């Protein structure tokens, strides 16, 4: 008989580092176009699989000497290769028992609700969509924004993207930190997730109720090169009776900074390009212009020649909030205390002098 225990055993044996199970009714109250119950209306359970990000994958960025491994291994490798193979394995196990397994790998939103700011509707004009398509061809930058519409009344518009971190909370895997990163007792902020929806009536895990994982130390906000995380304003959401709160995050600005880093974090772009600031395109990276999807297009167009991408992922130059969080949790105590023999950071963070 298929049980939660047997699903977890198979998931861990297949290579997942974490596995938690939630019931679909915990999504009650989710925004209509982000409610995963539209994906598989008969699903009773959601299985959350966590895949650890090795701390050393960010070593090169921490030292400022190697930027390739983080996006290729920790984004592309996990999302495109490793997690799908585990999803496939666990899905087969579930379906061998006569229940359906709707697998859901980590993917960017292409639907009506923006995964950047949760706003309804796409605001890019058709011309801009064509522009971003051209950019996509050159840089494999995936943001296919289309005017999607529901296929029938009452359905969510395709392609539905639910909130991955809230889903991890639903599966009892941890809590959302002030940085908006998912924190788990095992790996702090260092993991990615994938999910399976199934009609199998599995016993759910309780929501995480252990000691607070986020220390509210604000290191993530302080070390963000774009000041994208507010230290004072927050967002609150209630999931299955549990209040979640995280710092207000300027998602579009983060999008610019984590891929492009900015003047003081990007060793790939000549200083002259930042100085020239053609058409004001880089103002968003200097905090002089509002970050929104229109401005981001300008940033991409100004800098795309300097940014190779791999496996369809943009080159991540930041991850500052993750490393700040790991550094703090290791030093100040928390879920990562004592996990590694040596701390992530022993000296000062590097910042380009220009």
* Pick 181 or 200: Cβ nearer ligand SF4: 181
State yes or no: residue 70 binds ligand SF4 (CB under 6 A): no
The number of beta carbons lying within 10 Å of the beta carbon of residue 152 is 5
Tally of residues, the chain:
354
Task: State the residue for tokens 């949760």.
Answer: 118
* Pick 200 or 328: Cβ nearer ligand SF4: 328
State yes or no: residue 124 binds ligand SF4 (CB under 6 A): no
Of 49, 61, 103, 228, which one interacts with ligand SF4 (CB under 6 A)? 228
Question: How far is residue 258's CA from residue 226's CA, in Å, rounded to a whole number?
Answer: 9
* Pick 204 or 320: Cβ nearer ligand SF4: 320
State yes or no: residue 18 binds ligand SF4 (CB under 6 A): no
Instruction: Kindly determine how many residues on this chain lie close enough to bind ligand SF4 according to the rule CB under 6 A.
Output: 27
Q: Is 76 helix (H, G, I), strand (E, B) or coil?
A: helix
Of 21, 156, 214, 299, which one interacts with ligand SF4 (CB under 6 A)? 214
Please, are residues 183 and 148 in contact by the beta-carbon 8 Å criterion? no
3-state secondary structure 257-269: HHHHCCCCCCCCC
State yes or no: residue 179 binds ligand SF4 (CB under 6 A): yes
Beta strand segments in 240-332, E:
242-249
User: H or E segment at 328?
Assistant: helix 320-332
Of 51, 258, 274, 307, which one interacts with ligand SF4 (CB under 6 A)? 258
State yes or no: residue 215 binds ligand SF4 (CB under 6 A): yes
Nearest to 263 by CA among 295, 310, 302: 302
Question: How far is residue 281's CA from residue 240's CA, in Å, rounded to a whole number?
Answer: 43
State yes or no: residue 288 binds ligand SF4 (CB under 6 A): no
* Nearest residue relative to ligand SF4 (C-beta): 177
- Residues forming contacts to ligand SF4 in the complex (CB under 6 A) are 177-179, 181, 214-220, 224-226, 228-229, 254, 257-258, 318-321, 324-325, 328-329
């Amino acid at each position: 008989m298929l049980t939660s225990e047997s699903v977890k055993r198979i998931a861990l044996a297949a290579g997942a580092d974490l596995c938690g199970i939630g019931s679909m009714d915990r999504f009650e109250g989710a925004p209509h176009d982000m409610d995963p119950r539209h994906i598989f209306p008969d699903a009773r359970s959601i299985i959350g699989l966590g895949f650890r990000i090795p701390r050393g994958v960010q070593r090169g960025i921490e030292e400022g000497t190697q930027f390739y491994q983080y996006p290729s291994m920790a984004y592309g490798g996990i999302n495109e290769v490793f997690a799908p193979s585990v999803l496939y394995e666990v899905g087969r196990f579930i379906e061998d028992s006569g229940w359906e397994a709707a697998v859901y790998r980590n993917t960017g939103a292409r639907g009506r609700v923006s995964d950047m700011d949760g706003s309804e509707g796409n605001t890019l004009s058709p011309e801009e969509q064509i522009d971003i398509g051209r950019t996509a061809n050159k840089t494999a930058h995936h943001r296919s924004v289309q005017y999607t519409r529901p296929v029938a009344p009452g359905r969510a518009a395709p392609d539905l993207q639910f909130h991955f971190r809230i889903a991890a909370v639903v599966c009892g895997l941890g809590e959302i930190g002030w940085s908006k990163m998912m924190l788990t007792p095992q790996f702090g902020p260092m993991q990615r997730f994938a999910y399976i929806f199934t009609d199998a009536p599995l016993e759910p895990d309780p929501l995480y109720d252990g000691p607070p994982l986020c220390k509210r130390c604000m290191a993530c906000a302080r070390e963000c090169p774009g000041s994208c995380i507010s230290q004072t304003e927050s967002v609150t959401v209630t999931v299955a009776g549990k209040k979640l709160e995280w710092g207000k995050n300027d998602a579009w600005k983060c999008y610019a900074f984590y891929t492009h880093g900015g003047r003081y974090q990007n060793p790939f772009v000549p200083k002259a390009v930042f100085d020239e600031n053609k058409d004001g395109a880089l103002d968003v990276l200097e905090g002089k212009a509002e970050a929104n999807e229109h401005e981001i297009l300008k940033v991409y167009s100004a800098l795309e020649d300097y940014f190779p991408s791999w496996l369809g992922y943009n080159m991540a130059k930041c991850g500052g909030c993750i490393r700040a969080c790991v550094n703090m949790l290791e030093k100040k105590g928390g879920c990562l205390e004592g996990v590694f023999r040596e701390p992530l950071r022993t000296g000062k963070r590097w910042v380009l002098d220009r």
